Structure 1
């Protein structure tokens, strides 16, 4: 699990995500497993959706199907938000909810997308909205409709309109790429002939911190994904690694070997205000802020083997968190602060585990054997991680109950280091 990188020439380009970036091969998504309960939802074709660059109905269907918690019933017809609905007919078809809508062209080139979610059991309207969207944002609008359906029917905010970032390696080139949560809309934020590792989203989704080896050593950068501007925030003697944002976006927790053994520090997001959190005779690394920003989880071998600890964000005495197994690394905390995800090596297998911090109950979530880099979805319902598929690096997503699994691969090259972006305002 320790990455050893070769050093060589570097070519780096920061490119805006505003629409001028070249697209790369899309991620292929395979889904297996379903949630413990599936809600049957009929989705009617939106009227005039042929006007838009992408079919809104298909995107909504794909999102809900991928979640594992919906059984999609094809309405087989166009139904608008103003069409009178015979609820008894839909109930006979087994639908507990019905999605309808329409698209109209606006004079300024945008589209007026209207959507309504109907409860067929109670014969009532659950939700709906209208939005004017540009052609380039058609997919985003469809994802937001799917988010609304997910939230109204499941009771948890949907994360279909969020983004993911990851690193791909093709030949000698490394690329930091950003994509929609469904793997579509891939854009390159950074390309280099040197390794890029440990990307981490800022809380507002406008920046990514990462480690680049372009200076012949690991250095921490922060890049603005809107402007493409990038800035070094940690380039101290030795290794600068494992950046993690505080929930309010004001600070980063990082791991530095400036004084010898790697220890945990915090810095202000602009690189100022360096503060040392741990001072041990062991290696302390892989920091991760708690959901409330009051503490920092980290990896340490101070007990004789790698385990996960927690320390107050202002310093103090660390407390051990993981006790099952002799090798637990890469802590990631859920948005609600209740669940700790990590990679554990047991019987020679590196697998994804989740620990309920309230009950102390632990669950293995993956059935692969070379897992790394877990990252929670912003609604806390899924965990994305890197693994191997057919001897190639791939990404996988699993629901926190372990029932729904997805595999994301690219046709050429390896894909690693995933990080799931926050909800966007």
Structure 2
């Protein structure tokens, strides 16, 4: 996708596709060769009303789709222990399992008490034991938290199964009418909720650092405006609606400011808006197109996309402005930067000879590593653990979401039934 078409997407037109907003299925397209065999036994249950959520099934799905684990099918299990004294390690050794997860759920007064254990099958020892309580309404999130705990214990990497993602869809209403929706869902695609909807395009969603608010661009008044919306209450404020382009909002790490792309003075430039005082500071002054700002995690710098060198490349400057320096030199096109949480890497859209793929730059060495093989990959967003990157892709005229590990060894395809999605962002 050309840089100038991307600018149209940011500030002038919407992305039109026939889209529904069904739940998401996740397919592992490439897993880790050394994926660890693990058996998650169905959890036992004690109670009168029945368990509204199958916790062990969710844990099984989470760990399986991570690409780092190879889960055992329930039909292949020789037994289904729910307590430590019922575990026969030789059975699980014969099935080639490295780890075993068992658990129990007990219904209490207005809550569910959950206990689970993880065993090293070949050592015959417990490596993790945990107890927790959950109200009925939070059982699915609690299951994801269990997955996070197990994942981090066995891999040393922080889990992200209990996180959330935001994305944009649009649905045909017949004729040329479409409804555009900004939606938030669990990381596995369940529990999608519409945050905003409009017959005019919505785009460029960005999470606040505390995950409580979202900034986005809406054309509901026929011109581009930038809004900040509180998720819990639905309350929103219009923070920018200047003549021309109002696009690409990006939160400062302290949540007090937004970096924006505005063309109110002529060419698209980078500005910073103080959300309390509504004062506006212009950071770039160029005859080129400057857009897609993103803050470094410590707030000291902003990386942005500019074609001032002839082709779209990434540039970095102090967040107070001035001293712009070019970051990228390889490839015909580098744009849409996203910092890793630790600031050590930048994900970007890397274009070369008409292919647009997701790449990562090591900020220390400036080495660029291309991670994906798609021809139209864009909108990279780091997961909070810095190990996964969520992005949008297109193939055969269909748009979908994908995720790739920072080393490129694990890839997922996130498929919405009969749907297309775009511009994903992982919650902090």
The reply to whether residue 60 of structure 1 matches residue 66 of structure 2 is no
After TM superposition, give the deviation of residue 305 of structure 1 in Å.
1.2
Match of 2:362 among 356, 362, 385: 356
The reply to whether residue 198 of structure 1 matches residue 204 of structure 2 is yes
TM-score (norm 1): 0.90
The reply to whether residue 163 of structure 1 matches residue 164 of structure 2 is yes
Determine if contact 1:41/1:70 at 8 Å carries over to the other structure: yes
After TM superposition, give the deviation of residue 97 of structure 1 in Å.
2.0
1:388-403, aligned counterparts within 5 Å?
388-403=394-409
**In the alignment, what sits opposite 1:25?**
22
Determine if contact 1:233/1:270 at 8 Å carries over to the other structure: no
CA distance in 1, matches of 2:279, 2:397: 43
Ranges in structure 2 where 5+ consecutive residues have no aligned partner = 15-19, 173-177
1:60-79, aligned counterparts within 5 Å?
60-74=59-73, 76=77, 77-79=79-81
**In the alignment, what sits opposite 2:113?**
112
SS in 1 for 2:265: coil
**In the alignment, what sits opposite 2:101?**
99
SS in 1 for 2:279: coil
The reply to whether residue 301 of structure 1 matches residue 300 of structure 2 is no
Match of 1:38 among 30, 35, 38: 35
Identify which range, 295-304 or 85-94, moves more after superposition: 85-94
After TM superposition, give the deviation of residue 25 of structure 1 in Å.
1.5
After TM superposition, give the deviation of residue 92 of structure 1 in Å.
4.2
**In the alignment, what sits opposite 1:409?**
415
CA distance in 2, matches of 1:374, 1:400: 11
**In the alignment, what sits opposite 2:291?**
285
After TM superposition, give the deviation of residue 186 of structure 1 in Å.
1.0
After TM superposition, give the deviation of residue 261 of structure 1 in Å.
1.0
**In the alignment, what sits opposite 1:366?**
372
CA distance in 2, matches of 1:316, 1:290: 16
Classify 1:366/1:130 alpha carbon distance in 2 versus 1 (closer, same or farther; 3 Å). Answer: same
CA distance in 2, matches of 1:6, 1:344: 23
1:1-400, aligned counterparts within 5 Å?
1-2=5-6, 3=8, 24-48=21-45, 51-74=50-73, 76=77, 77-108=79-110, 110-171=111-172, 172-270=178-276, 272-400=278-406
CA distance in 2, matches of 1:101, 1:153: 17
Classify 1:271/1:145 alpha carbon distance in 2 versus 1 (closer, same or farther; 3 Å). Answer: farther
Identify which range, 136-145 or 263-272, moves more after superposition: 263-272
Ranges in structure 1 where 5+ consecutive residues have no aligned partner = 8-22
SS in 2 for 1:48: strand
Determine if contact 2:315/2:324 at 8 Å carries over to the other structure: yes
CA distance in 1, matches of 2:291, 2:28: 34
TM-score (norm 2): 0.89
Determine if contact 1:330/1:342 at 8 Å carries over to the other structure: yes
After TM superposition, give the deviation of residue 39 of structure 1 in Å.
1.6
SS in 1 for 2:41: strand
Superposed CA deviations along residues 192-247 of structure 1, whole A, max 9, x for unmatched, are 10100000111111111100011221111111111111111222232211011122
